[in-house]
Chain A
Amino acid sequence: MTVAALALEGITKRFGAVTALDDASLTVRAGTVHALLGENGAGKSTLMRVAFGMLAPDRGTVRVAGTAHTFATARGAIDTGLGMVHQHFSLVPALTVAENVALGGRGRFDRAAVAASVRDIGAETGLLLDPDARVATLPVSAQQRLEIVKALSRKARVLILDEPTAVLAPDEARELLAWVKRWAVGERAAVLITHHLADAFAVADDVTVLRRGRTVLARGVDGLTESALVQAMLGEALTVASGAPSAHDRTGAPVLALDRATVVDERGIERLAPTTCEITAGEIVGVAAVEGAGQAELLRLLAGRLRPSSGRATVPLSVGFVPADRHRDAVVLDMPLVENLALKDAAQARSWMPWPALRSETDALMSRFDVRANGPTTPMRALSGGNQQKFVLGRELAEGPVALVVENPTRGLDIRATEEVRSRLRAARDAGLAVVLYSEDLDEVLALADRVLVVHAGQVQAMPPDRTRVGRAMLGAS
């Protein structure tokens, strides 16, 4: 039996009360491509950060080519021959390709020598790059090549690629995967972190599936069926109390509507393909997607926070919106609660601010939504995450909107707060609001939604909240 290129054994990692990894393991054979699969939050990235020395595990062993290592920093991992390409590149756009490759070295910087080594790696691996090109001018696919070249220039023998196809166009993704397959021979190996089944089947020799921090499947890809893989990734549904489905009459006119709406980002890449959909009063429409599939754009179109690049969005002014990044987009931490209440649609406020009335509104909101704080003048910063979220949700519902768009509303909340938020959403639906809910927790979407919009690679498709169908569609399984 040959020695594994990389082996993680019995890794446990806790963050406070949360167990991110629970006795997880991964064995990568030399000469293979290994797909590491799992839903959002299954622990894939945490496991790889442990492997790469960016996180110290509470228990367990990291072996590279048979030798156990305890890395203090990423530097140690790099020195043993590991290389990692993060989903969010760590490149310096203003510097050239060669300069980015050389970053972190010591002594004299020999531009010509670094350029030559970039060319050598290119000739050897096919990852062609102009060493003198400024990174800011490179397309994303070339930036990704550069990240790989950076790792290779440090003599990486095991490459860990975190969601490498997420930022690429389909052709570029195919090309990259084919390259990984060609490269991982001999003593080299590649780990592909992904939630796209197709990627795994396209190039992987072995797969490991993580679910809720545990390794639930580890085997060769030969003879593995797609449904077995989906089953392993999604597991049995957690019991999220489903509650009664919508009793509201859903034959009314649509409240929110998109008509062939698209979103094109500043680099000209289409994040959302032409989408037509209608959300009517009295339903919760769940949005299921893996990270970066285009759901953020879809939600912002529906909330009236983003204008479509083409097509039409019909959205009334009174839409409540609870964005995922609360601290950045929803509140002002240094202002008191009453001012955070007034923040909503502050652009519409005229002449004098009715603070006494707003204070009693804040009081009412606090008691109605069970926001635990001293009073309306308490700064937002002093509230726990759960109370902040309840406050934001209450604020967005306060003025009787006709629709509500919520994004990851229970992330980071404890069980009690989570349950409260969920029942609020149901109550809003029952009161006749059109509700759109995205959550990275698929079971939460399924438990609350009357129907589901699945977003995969910018394509939106509607379906009933059937776990297997939704799960397969969002992972891109045929």
Chain B
Amino acid sequence: MRSVALVLALTAIAVALLALILGASGMDVGRALLALSRGAAGSWDAVLSGTLVRATPLLITGLAITLAFRAGVLNIGAEGQLLMGAAAAAAVGLAWPGLGLLAVPTLLVIGAIAGGAWAAIAAVLRLRFGVLEVISTLMLNFVAQYLLSWLVRGPLQEPQHIYPQSASLAESARLATLVPGTRLHAGFLLGVLLAGMLAIVFARTAAGFRVRLVGANPAAAISAGRIDAARVAFGAFVLSGALAGLAGAVEVSGVTFALYENLSPGYGFSAIAVALLARLHPAGVVGTATLFGALEAGAVAMQRDAGVPSVVVSVVEAVLILLVVAAEQWRTRRVAAQVGA
């Protein structure tokens, strides 16, 4: 309930902000907002083929960020993990086209494994060598991007060797369409399910509780909880990578059906905003991912119909993060001041 209120409040702030920016830039605010709302929610097709399809990778990657940040792991490498998941899924899908009913599950599992393995590099570097994960995951994003760029021009390039992209996946390797005639695929449902699962893991299971403890106060987790905090953080890091990798596989199997160099317009970074705005609550991530999906789908329409640059939504996303951060700091200080600590 609280997350619904949160998303509604954020939406209201986002729209107000957008109007303010557009007005300040001397644009036709009414026309732009109309185009935005049409693009995001003007029709069933806009919602299903635009907003929700766009929201899916943000949702699953947002969950990845949520898991890592909750454990105190600053994984900013979700982008790279997503790309590796996409690449591995495409490679397997293209190499074994005859998997039949097993094709989709296989692709998704392979994508998750690849994303987890990519994150494991940074996790090992942190555990064994004390390398800050912020720096290592940042590096690994670049390496993943170049690896992908090479794959679509080398081993995975389509048969004609003209375009920097892979061949298309067989029908059997594609995620089912949820609503006939739209682009909405089963990946969105999977994301919602995962969000529910992660919410339950955090709220109800011992493992999820340990993750939260380690993130909130590692010293107390070790001393009072006798928890092996380094191990818990390692596990959360790798699983976070697996979720991001899964998001990549879902994108390949549900939207693009092939591997492209520009598969992700920075989902891994937007996901940080998605997760933070949801204040790291999985259920909230469903809402914020949908909000961002709507903003981005609407932005495309806004650019097409009203000539407003679509990047304007990044400003909205950024200001929302900064507002949440400022409110958070302010709240902590106020509570501390009240207790007199």
A interface residues (Cβ-Cβ under 8 A, vs B): 305, 321, 323, 328-335, 339, 342-353, 355, 379, 381-384
Contacts and interface: CB of A to CB of B under 8 A. Distances in A.
B162 interface: no
Contact of B206 (A344, A352, A383, A384): A352
14 contacts: A305-B223, A329-B220, A331-B220, A332-B213, A332-B220, A346-B206, A346-B210, A346-B227, A348-B226, A349-B209, A353-B204, A353-B209, A379-B335, A381-B335
Nearest to A344: B224
Interface in B180-226: 204-206, 209-210, 212-213, 216-217, 219-221, 223-226
B210 A330 contact: no
Contacts of B336: 381
A342 B219 contact: no
B339 interface: yes
Nearest to B338: A382
B204 A328 contact: no
Interface string B327-341: 000000001101101
Given A335-B213, A381-B341, 7 more contacts: A321-B224, A343-B225, A346-B221, A347-B227, A349-B206, A351-B206, A381-B339
B171 interface: no
A347 B222 CA distance: 9
Contact of A339 (B204, B205, B209, B335): B209
Nearest to A326: B220
A332 B205 CA distance: 18
B216 to A, nearest CB: 5
Contacts of B227: 346-347
A332 B216 contact: yes
B28 interface: no
B225 A345 contact: yes
B305 interface: no
Lowest 9 CB-CB distances: which A-B pairs, in order?
A349-B206, A346-B225, A329-B223, A332-B217, A347-B226, A347-B227, A332-B216, A328-B219, A343-B225
B213 A346 contact: yes
Nearest to A16: B340
B335 A347 contact: no
Interface string B300-335: 000000000000000000000000000000000001
B34 to A, nearest CB: 43
B198 to A, nearest CB: 15
A236 B221 CA distance: 42
Contacts of A384: 339
User: Chain A's interface: helix, strand, loop or mixed, by majority?
Assistant: loop
A330 B220 CA distance: 5
A355 B339 contact: no
A152 B1 CA distance: 65
Contacts of A349: 206, 209-210
B223 A344 contact: no
B336 to A, nearest CB: 8
B224 A331 contact: yes
Q: Pick from A321, A343, A352, A379 the residue with the most CB of B within 10 Å.
A: A343
Contacts of B228: 347
Nearest to A317: B226
Contacts of B212: 335, 339
Contacts of A323: 223
Nearest to A305: B223
B180 to A, nearest CB: 39
Nearest to B200: A352
B113 to A, nearest CB: 25
Given A330-B223, A346-B225, A350-B206, A335 B216 contact: yes
Contact of A353 (B205, B226, B341): B205
B326 to A, nearest CB: 18
Contacts of A332: 213, 216-217, 220-221
A424 B94 CA distance: 69
B220 A328 contact: yes
Contacts of A329: 219-220, 223-224
B204 A347 contact: no
B301 to A, nearest CB: 41
Q: Pick from B205, B219, B220, B336 the residue with the most CB of A within 10 Å.
A: B220
Given A332-B213, A346-B221, A382 B226 contact: no
Given A330-B220, A331-B220, A384-B339, A355 B204 contact: yes
A335 B215 CA distance: 11
A330 B219 CA distance: 8
A347 B224 contact: no
A342 to B, nearest CB: 7
B206 A343 contact: no
A328 B216 CA distance: 11
A223 to B, nearest CB: 48
A330 B213 CA distance: 12
A313 to B, nearest CB: 15
Contacts of B216: 332, 334-335
Contacts of B225: 343-347
B69 to A, nearest CB: 14
Contacts of A352: 204-206
Contacts of A353: 204-206, 209
A379 B204 CA distance: 18
A343 B221 CA distance: 7
A328 B335 CA distance: 18
Interface in B266-302: none
B209 A342 contact: yes
A20 B112 CA distance: 60
A382 B339 contact: yes
Nearest to A322: B224
Contacts of B213: 332, 335, 343, 346
A328 B341 CA distance: 13
B224 to A, nearest CB: 5
A250 B96 CA distance: 74
A381 B216 CA distance: 13
Contact of B226 (A333, A334, A345, A351): A345
A333 B217 CA distance: 9
B229 to A, nearest CB: 10
B192 to A, nearest CB: 22
Contacts of A342: 209
A333 B336 CA distance: 10
Contacts of B220: 328-332, 343
A334 to B, nearest CB: 6
Contacts of B209: 339, 342, 346, 349, 353
Nearest to B214: A346
A351 B217 CA distance: 22
A408 to B, nearest CB: 15
B219 to A, nearest CB: 5
Contacts of B219: 328-329
Nearest to A348: B226
A389 to B, nearest CB: 13
A349 B213 CA distance: 13
A388 B54 CA distance: 47
B292 to A, nearest CB: 26
A321 B206 contact: no
A61 B205 CA distance: 61
A355 B202 CA distance: 12
Q: Pick from B210, B223, B224, B339 the residue with the most CB of A within 10 Å.
A: B224
B202 to A, nearest CB: 10
